[in-house]
Amino acid sequence: MTGKTLVLRALKDLGVRYLFGYTGGAIMPIFDEIERFDDMTFLMARHEQGAAFMAQGLTRGALSTDRPELGVCLSTSGPGAMNLVTGIADAHMDSVAMLAITGQVATGVIATDAFQESDVVGVMMPICKQTYMPLSPEEVESTVHEAFYVAKTGRGGPVLIDIPKDIQNNETPADYEFAAENFTPQLPGFLYSPNPETDAIKRAADLINRSERPLLFCGHGVINANAGALLRKFAEKMNIPIAFTLHGLSALPLDHPLSLGMMGMHGTVESNRAIMEADLLIALGMRFDDRVTGKLNEYAKNADVIHVEIDSSEINKNVATSVAINADVARTLEALLDEPMLTYKPRRRWFSMIEEFRTVMAADLEEEISRGTGSGGKLLMKSIVHQLSELTGGRDLIVPDVGQHQMMAARFYNYQTENSWFASGGAGTMGASLPMAIGVKLARPNERVWSISGDGGFQMNIQELGTVMEYGIDIKILILNNGHLGMVRQWQTFFFDERYAGTPMRSPNFGLIAEAYGITYLKVEKLEDVKPALEAAIAHTGAIVVEFVCEPNEFILPMIPAGGGFNDMITSFSMNSPDTDEADQGGAS
C-alpha cells in the first residue's frame, strides 16, 4: 500500500470525518486519495490559517458531545505550511488537540532549498506538542496513530506530520501489516497521570476546611475534562464562590449564585476583588497567565493555593503552590466530593464582602446596557451582546474574535450551555472567529453558532466567507463595527493621551461583500433595530451577516493595566475629548 492511502486509512480508523485544507504540489498525492474515502468530507478553506482554525473549532466544539473528534488540517509544503503557523501556535497556547498534515518536498531534495521547501518541522517544533516526519511508507500509519494519541492525551495540543512527497507515493513492502486496534505507542517518557494522590486530596481538604474565604477558579481544564457539573456540585456542597478564566467560561451557568464571572484584566470587579481578599485559591485546570494575575508579586498575597493541573510544568511556574495536584480536574473533583473530612460553612462574612464588590460597577454597567448607545447615538457593544443573550436565553454557542467585542461577549452573554464559548485566548489571534465558528458548527450541527467579530478581525479571515458559501454553513456572523481597532484604541485612550496611531480604519461595504458571496446581510444603526435584526438572524435559515454600527468611545471596564496589580484596577474613565471622533465608518449604504 502507498503512504497516501495509509494516511487516510489511519485517519478513518481514528474516526475523522472532516478534513480542512488547501492543496498544492507536495500534498497532491494525499488529496488525490481523499475521494476514495467517502466517509470523510473535505472542506476547502480559503487560506490555510482558516483551515487550522476550523480544525480547532471542530475539536473544541466536539469535546463535550458523545462523539469527541479531532480537527485535522492539510496543506502543501512551503507557503502552505507557513500559512498554518498562526493557527497552530494559537492551538498550542490554548491547549487544543489537533493534527496538521503537511506535504513536504521529496526526501531526495530535502535541505537543498527545493521549490516550496521550508523546514516545516523546524518551524513548528516550538509551537507543537510533537512533530513527525515519516521517512518510509511503513512508518506512516503508526505515526498518525501516535500523533493522535499525543495530541489528545493529557493537556491537549497540536501535532504536526510533515510527509515527503515520495513517502506519500511509495509502496510499503508486500508483508506490511498494521492492526489499529492493537496499536499502543512506545513512549516511556510520555506519562499521563489523571488520578490525584490521596495524600494531596487530604491536604487540600484540610486547607479548605481551615479556610474562611476560599475561592474556586474554573479554568480551561474544567471544560476539557467536561467537569462543569462536578464543579457546580462541589461548589454548592462546600458553598464556595467561583471565578472563571476566559477559557473557563461556560463550564457552568454564568448567573449561578456562586459565580463571580470572569477574572483578570477585564474580569469583573467582584472576582478580582475577591481574589485580593481570599485566603485560599482552588485553581482548577489553569496556568495563571499574566492577564489573569497582573503583577505577580502583588497577586493574591493572602491566599494559599491549591493548584489542580494536568500539566505538571504549569504548577509552581507563576504562582507558588501550597498543595500541588497534578491530575485530571474531573477525577480530582470526584475525589474531593468523596472526601468525608470536608465540611460545609455558611461563610456569611465572605459572601457579604462579595455582595459589596458586586455593587461597585453594577449600576454603571446596567445604565450603559439600558441606554444602549453612546453620546453620538451609535450602538454600544455591551447592549448588543446583552440583547443577544436575552433573546437566546444564553443557550447558543458563541465564537468571538479578539478585541473589545470579545471581552464584551465574555462578560455580557449569560452562558447556560456547557462548552458554549470558543475564544482565542492565549494567543489572542484576530481573525480566529469566522473559521473557528465553521469548525464549531460542524461539531454541533443542531445548535446555533454566532461568530462575533470587530471590523478589524473580521477582515483578517474574511475570505472564509467563501467556505461558508460553498458548504452552506449555517452560522450567524455579527460584525461590531466601531471604525477602529477598538481594543488598541482603548489603550491609546487610557495610556497614550488619546493619540490614535494606526487604529482608525475604513472598512469596505460589508453588504456588498456578503452579497458577492450570496450571503444575506443586514445593517443595524439604531438601537430599536438591534433586537429585530437578531430575531431575523435567528429566523433566517443559513448564514447571515449582521453589521452593527458601534460607538468607538465605548470601553470595556474594569481594566487592570498590563503589568499592573489589582489595586490599579480602572473602573471608570472619562475622555478629555469625547466627541472629536471623526473616523470614517466606511461602508457606503
Partner 1 sequence: MKRRTLLAFMLDRPGVLNKVSMLIRRKMYNVDTLTVCSSRIKGISRMTITLKEDDPRKVEQVMKQLAKLVEVISVKELDTNNSYWREVAIVKLEIEAARLDEFHHRYNFEVLDKKSEDMHILQVAGATGHIDGFLDEIGRENIIEIARTGVSAMEK
Ligand X SMILES: Cc1ncc(C[n+]2csc(CCOP(=O)(O)OP(=O)(O)O)c2C)c(N)n1
Supply the residues annotated as catalytic: 48, 115-116, 165, 487
Q: What angle do CA 584, 588, 589 make, to 5 degrees?
A: 125
171 phi, psi to nearest 5 deg: -95, 145
Question: Residue 83 to residues 77, 161, 168: CA-CA distances in angstroms?
Answer: 10, 15, 21
Which of 419, 421, 418, 417 minimizes the C-alpha distance to 395?
Answer: 417
481 in Cβ contact with 510 (< 8 Å): yes
Q: Cell numbers of 541, please?
A: 435559515
Q: Is 356 helix (H, G, I), strand (E, B) or coil?
A: helix
Burial 499-513 (b: 16+ CB within 10 A, else e): ebeebbbebebbbeb
Return the one option of partner 1, ligand X, none that residue 190 interacts with (CB less than 5 to 8 A, by type): partner 1
Binding site for ligand X (CB under 6 A): 401-405, 428-430, 454-457, 480, 482, 484-488
Q: Are strands 280-284 and 304-308 parallel, antiparallel or unpaired?
A: parallel
Tell whether residue 119 is a contact of partner 1 (CB under 8 A): no
E strand or H helix at 447, and its extent? none
Q: What angle do CA 397, 403, 404 make, to 5 degrees?
A: 90
The answer to whether the bond into 196 is cis (omega within 30° of 0) is: no
Return the one option of partner 1, ligand X, none that residue 454 interacts with (CB less than 5 to 8 A, by type): ligand X
Tell whether residue 136 is a contact of partner 1 (CB under 8 A): no
Return the one option of ligand X, partner 1, none that residue 158 interacts with (CB less than 5 to 8 A, by type): none
Q: What angle do CA 350, 355, 358 make, to 5 degrees?
A: 130
415 phi, psi to nearest 5 deg: -55, 125
Return the one option of partner 1, ligand X, none that residue 114 interacts with (CB less than 5 to 8 A, by type): none
Return the one option of partner 1, ligand X, none that residue 242 interacts with (CB less than 5 to 8 A, by type): none
Whichever of 445 and 502 has its CB closer to ligand X, that residue is: 502
Q: How far is the CB of 483 from ligand X (least distance, A)?
A: 8
294 in Cβ contact with 318 (< 8 Å): no
* 74-113 binders of partner 1 (CB under 8 A): none
Return the one option of partner 1, ligand X, none that residue 126 interacts with (CB less than 5 to 8 A, by type): partner 1
Whichever of 455 and 547 has its CB closer to ligand X, that residue is: 455
Tell whether residue 131 is a contact of partner 1 (CB under 8 A): yes
Q: Cell numbers of 123, please?
A: 518551524
250 phi, psi to nearest 5 deg: 80, 5
- Kindly tell me the number of DSSP H helices and DSSP E strands found in the chain: 22, 17
Q: How far is the CB of 186 from partner 1 (least distance, A)?
A: 8
Return the one option of ligand X, partner 1, none that residue 552 interacts with (CB less than 5 to 8 A, by type): none
Return the one option of ligand X, partner 1, none that residue 303 interacts with (CB less than 5 to 8 A, by type): none
Q: How far is the CB of 430 from ligand X (least distance, A)?
A: 4
Q: What does the chain come to in residues?
A: 589
Q: How far is the CB of 193 from partner 1 (least distance, A)?
A: 12
Among 67, 126, 182, 343, binds partner 1 (CB under 8 A): 126
Q: How far is the CB of 413 from ligand X (least distance, A)?
A: 15
**Helices 329-337 + 198-210 axis angle, to 10:** 60
Among 189, 257, 340, 472, binds partner 1 (CB under 8 A): 189
Number of residues counted as binding partner 1 (CB under 8 A) = 20
Tell whether residue 317 is a contact of partner 1 (CB under 8 A): yes
Which residue of the chain is nearest ligand X when measured via CB? 454
Among 15, 36, 108, 125, binds partner 1 (CB under 8 A): 125
Contact region with partner 1 (CB under 8 A), list: 87-95, 267-275, 308-316, 489-497: 308-316
Q: Cell numbers of 184, please?
A: 499502543
Residue 568 is given by DSSP the state: G
Q: How far is the CB of 525 from ligand X (least distance, A)?
A: 17
Contact region with partner 1 (CB under 8 A), list: 125-133, 258-266, 370-378, 418-426: 125-133
Q: How far is the CB of 155 from partner 1 (least distance, A)?
A: 9
Q: Which residue has the cell 487610557?
A: 494
Tell whether residue 316 is a contact of partner 1 (CB under 8 A): yes
| Strands ordered across the beta sheet of 18-21 | 41-44, 18-21, 71-75, 98-104, 158-164, 130-132
Contact region with partner 1 (CB under 8 A), list: 46-54, 315-323, 338-346, 389-397: 315-323
Q: How far is the CB of 125 from partner 1 (least distance, A)?
A: 6
Return the one option of partner 1, ligand X, none that residue 405 interacts with (CB less than 5 to 8 A, by type): ligand X
Q: How far is the CB of 172 from partner 1 (least distance, A)?
A: 21
Tell whether residue 192 is a contact of partner 1 (CB under 8 A): no
Whichever of 197 and 339 has its CB closer to partner 1, that residue is: 197
**According to DSSP H, which parts of 137-260 are helical?**
137-152, 165-169, 198-210, 220-224, 228-238
- Chain centroid to Cα 284, Å, comes to 17
Tell whether residue 340 is a contact of partner 1 (CB under 8 A): no
Give dist(CA 119, CA 465) in Å, integer.
Answer: 31
Tell whether residue 312 is a contact of partner 1 (CB under 8 A): yes
Return the one option of ligand X, partner 1, none that residue 455 interacts with (CB less than 5 to 8 A, by type): ligand X
Among 4, 9, 60, 129, binds partner 1 (CB under 8 A): 129
Q: How far is the CB of 566 from ligand X (least distance, A)?
A: 22
Whichever of 149 and 412 has its CB closer to ligand X, that residue is: 412
Q: Is 101 helix (H, G, I), strand (E, B) or coil?
A: strand
538 phi, psi to nearest 5 deg: -65, -45
Which of 274, 265, 266 minimizes the C-alpha distance to 243?
Answer: 274
Tell whether residue 150 is a contact of partner 1 (CB under 8 A): yes
Residues at the interface with partner 1 (CB under 8 A): 121-122, 125-126, 129-131, 133, 150, 187-190, 311-313, 315-317, 320
